[in-house]
Structure 1
């Protein structure tokens, strides 16, 4: 179902419909910027949002359901050593040849089961995020907040989809406000049944999953959830 039908207040910035992602182009299967989730996951995210709104914050999702064809696109890209257009921002210190071995890219994704979401927190009122301009100078995703690509998220220490160990939720180098922000996200979602992936501060899966072992491949579009 569309997350917006359960909670229209959650901010959506669906990165894979744009060129601002580690592939550098819109990803296969993302036809429209729509967050699709299973009903239990969407309702749990709504409950977390209600808690954050009371504190002056909002959730923002970067990615939700991901069709298998999108995962296949990632795999093809990762196997092509020539395409490193976005390396300077998203994986500046990781050789592309290591992306599979280090677990950044896999041939199957929990996102394709519909209960996994990539999410952050935004302080309200939310400032607009400027659009990415293809060809602009890229800055490492782990650079200080004022230097890396601007995001209206609170400071989490890295940008979204940063292929670096600093993205590990409990990396000891992440301290102070950045650590507190990560823990606020983790604890808020954790009380509603979401489990964090330790290697990515933004990655959460609702448990128990309604479709364990299933990998859907319908496209991300409004038509896909019409009437559901």
Structure 2
């Protein structure tokens, strides 16, 4: 999908770490072939309805995961707290939100959102999902009772489209999906 919308946040500073993440030498989305083919089918089905996908993260080198863990352990670095974890102490991020091993490093997990392209000018705008990507809070739970009905409908549209092609959602993060397939090894190849 050469024209899929990408906003690979970890290649730049607009992310919860606040700096480019180790291993992201380019803003590219890589996936193992079965995951890429399934994602292509999701994108094609959504386009027929006037929607598109925007990916935030795909394959993640294992060194990036280690960077996240080091950042989480540095309790002095609070520069992104207001935007990404305003209601949590940083010590609470390790575990449910930041794990020492990530399925992203297997090449079949990705983070994404929906764009609405049904406007008269054909511009595609992000749908309101209730939180932004990588917001550490129960408000980001896929079925959070604290979101509006419109936000719930948007999350459910994404969930239906992804599950129809074999992806499963991580319930704590509305944006996080993994293709239910074999369990390949973890990779630590930088993104170039």
Task: Name 1:117's counterpart in structure 2.
Answer: 110
Contact kept? 1:115, 1:209, Cα under 8 Å: no
Task: Name 1:193's counterpart in structure 2.
Answer: 166
Matching residue within 8, 24, 27 for 1:30: 24
Task: Name 1:215's counterpart in structure 2.
Answer: 186
Gaps of 5+ in 1: 1-6, 128-151, 222-228
CA distance in 2, matches of 1:116, 1:85: 27
Task: Name 2:141's counterpart in structure 1.
Answer: 168
Gaps of 5+ in 2: none
Aligned-residue offset at 1:10 = 1.5
1:104 maps to 2:75: no
Residues 37-68 of structure 1: per-residue CA shift (max 9 Å, x gap)? 00000000000111111111100000000000
Aligned-residue offset at 1:210 = 5.2
Residues 151-184 of structure 1: per-residue CA shift (max 9 Å, x gap)? x420000000000100000011223110000000
Query: Aligned pairs, how many?
Result: 188
Aligned-residue offset at 1:215 = 1.1
Task: Name 1:89's counterpart in structure 2.
Answer: 83
Task: Name 1:178's counterpart in structure 2.
Answer: 151
Task: Name 2:14's counterpart in structure 1.
Answer: 20
Residues 103-137 of structure 1: per-residue CA shift (max 9 Å, x gap)? 1111000000000010100012345xxxxxxxxxx
Task: Name 1:139's counterpart in structure 2.
Answer: none
1:69 maps to 2:63: yes
